Amino acid sequence: MVVQSDEELCRKVAEHDAAAFEALLGRHQARAFRLACSILGSEADARDVSQDAFIRLFESAGKFDGRSRFSTWFYRIVVNLCIDHKRRNKWWRRMVPFSNPDDDPDLPPVDPPSSEPGPEAAAIGAQAGRRLRVALEGLSPTQRAAVLLQTDEDLSGREIAEILECSESTARVHIHRALTHLKKTMKED
Amino acid sequence: MRQIHLQSELAPYLRGDLSAAERECVARHLEGCARCRADADAFAAMLKTVALESAAIPEPDWSDYRAELYRKIAARRAATHTPVHARWWSPRLAWTSIAAAGAAVGAIVLVLTLGPRPEPGGAPPVEQLAMEDAIGAADVGLLRDYPVVEHLDLLENYDVIEHLDELTPADTINEKRS
């Protein structure tokens, strides 16, 4: 059986091929959700936003011109929707500060799903995770997207620049500023 | 001499994203710059932590996720294919209503400002005529009560009326008698 490329499948989605859409959904749902969750910091928001990205794909697959890779085009949709979502909810987040059940100092630390690390290592890991989430909150949506595209998707600077619709040097600056901020915030904590 | 640091090149350097020449340049700089070396180590640790944190994100139930997605797509398609007359409100309908209301207001203003106005010496307006008719009708009713009105035939001889000042009292009496 010949495996069709993402680009071929996208062209078929533009011709209203439901099976092609199903195939693309299967290939990219986990990555789209994880990327949205990393940028937004909320599983519920990530679910909505990543689904919105697939709705865009379903409705606008014809706009994919094939000049870039499908993944670049699709992650641009995901990232733009995440950035829009963050900006829309900015005023609300100022009123209701970012919170997580893990932030409550009275609650015991939640063990990670894996049983490999011991309780102490798990507690340290959970604490580091909390600190990192707080540090990530301080980044702009674009900086956060830039660093997560490198770490999660292992994309090159050129690909990140294409997704963020900026120059490669600007993408590098976004990543550098994000890492500097994370380093500083984690050190302060 | 002020040293130039290659800060924004560190992350691409760590990922192996630089050209051979750029990589060589950064490697040479790192050998001689403790500050950039410390930053490179910190950045490498940070990138690893972020990647681990992202990998730990729990995945949703994909069958639920897909079912919800297909419901959303179906709802959007249904909304897009609903005929305009079946919806009590639509943007097109709202704009048409606003445009029609605006046109109506404009027409009224136009009629009031440019429409025919009563001239100073012209015919009185309809309301004024109606009022005068009512007053006239009331006068006629009053006149009917005077006894002289019953003998108006006395005044029908206009020749006499025209020459009243020339008549002597005797002529008047004779005239009456004849």
- The per-residue pLDDT string of chain A (189 residues; one tens digit each, 9 = 90 and over) reads 678 999 999 999 999 999 999 999 999 999 999 999 989 989 999 999 999 999 999 999 999 988 889 999 999 999 999 999 988 876 555 555 444 444 443 444 444 444 455 566 666 666 777 788 888 888 988 999 999 999 888 888 999 999 999 999 999 999 999 999 998 888 776
DSSP A153: T
For residue B53, pLDDT over 90 is answered with no
Please indicate if any CB of chain B lies within 8 Å of the CB of A63: no
Tell me, yes or no, whether B117 lies in a domain: no
Report pLDDT for A107: 41
A41 and A135 Cβ atoms separated by less than 8 Å: no
Report pLDDT for A78: 95
A78 and A38 Cβ atoms separated by less than 8 Å: no
End-to-end CA distance of chain A: 53
For residue B43, which residues of chain A lie inside 8 Å, CB to CB? Answer: 179, 183
Round to whole Å and give the CA distance between A171 and A147. Answer: 9
8 Å CB contact of A179 and B58: no
pLDDT band at B127 (very low <50, low <70, confident <90, very high): low
Residue type, A67: R
Tell me, yes or no, whether B144 lies in a domain: no
Please indicate if any CB of chain A lies within 8 Å of the CB of B77: no
Round to whole Å and give the CA distance between B130 and A47. Answer: 77
For residue A30, which residues of chain B lie inside 8 Å, CB to CB? Answer: 59, 62
Report pLDDT for A174: 93
pLDDT band at B95 (very low <50, low <70, confident <90, very high): confident
Q: Please give the CATH architecture assigned to the domain spanning A118-189.
A: Orthogonal Bundle (1.10)
Within chain A, all domains assigned CATH 1.10.10.10 are found at 118-189
Please indicate if any CB of chain A lies within 8 Å of the CB of B41: no
* Tally of domains in chain B: 1
8 Å CB contact of A150 and B57: no
8 Å CB contact of A156 and B15: yes
**Residue at token pair 């000049």:** A67
A71 and A28 Cβ atoms separated by less than 8 Å: yes
8 Å CB contact of A55 and B43: no
DSSP A154: -
Tell me, yes or no, whether B41 lies in a domain: yes
Please indicate if any CB of chain A lies within 8 Å of the CB of B59: yes
Q: Which pair of structure tokens corresponds to residue B36? A: 């950039």
CA dihedral B71, B73, B79, B83 (to 10 degrees): -110
For the stretch B134-163, pLDDT in tens is 666 555 555 555 555 555 555 555 666 666
8 Å CB contact of B8 and A176: yes
| Predicted complex ipTM | 0.77
Residue type, B20: A
For residue B12, which residues of chain A lie inside 8 Å, CB to CB? Answer: 157, 172, 175
Round to whole Å and give the CA distance between B77 and A12. Answer: 19
8 Å CB contact of B65 and A51: yes
Q: What is the 3-state secondary structure (H, E, C) of chain B?
A: CCCCCCHHHHHHHHHCCCCHHHHHHHHHHHHHCHHHHHHHHHHHHHHHHHHHHHHCCCCCCHHHHHHHHHHHHHHHHHHHHCCHHHCCCCHHHHHHHHHHHHHHHHHHHHHHHHCCCCCCCCCCCHHHHHHHHHHHHHHHHHHCCCHHHHHHHHHHCHHHHHCHHHCCHHHHHHHHHC
Which residue range(s) make up the domain with B33?
7-55
Please indicate if any CB of chain A lies within 8 Å of the CB of B11: yes
Q: Which pair of structure tokens corresponds to residue B47? A: 């990138």
Residue of B nearest to A173 (CA): B8
Residue of B nearest to A22 (CA): B66
Tell me, yes or no, whether B167 lies in a domain: no
Q: Please give the CATH architecture assigned to the domain spanning A1-98.
A: Orthogonal Bundle (1.10)
Within chain A, all domains assigned CATH 1.10.1740.10 are found at 1-98
8 Å CB contact of B11 and A148: no
A183 and A189 Cβ atoms separated by less than 8 Å: no
B4 Cα to chain A: minimum distance (Å): 16
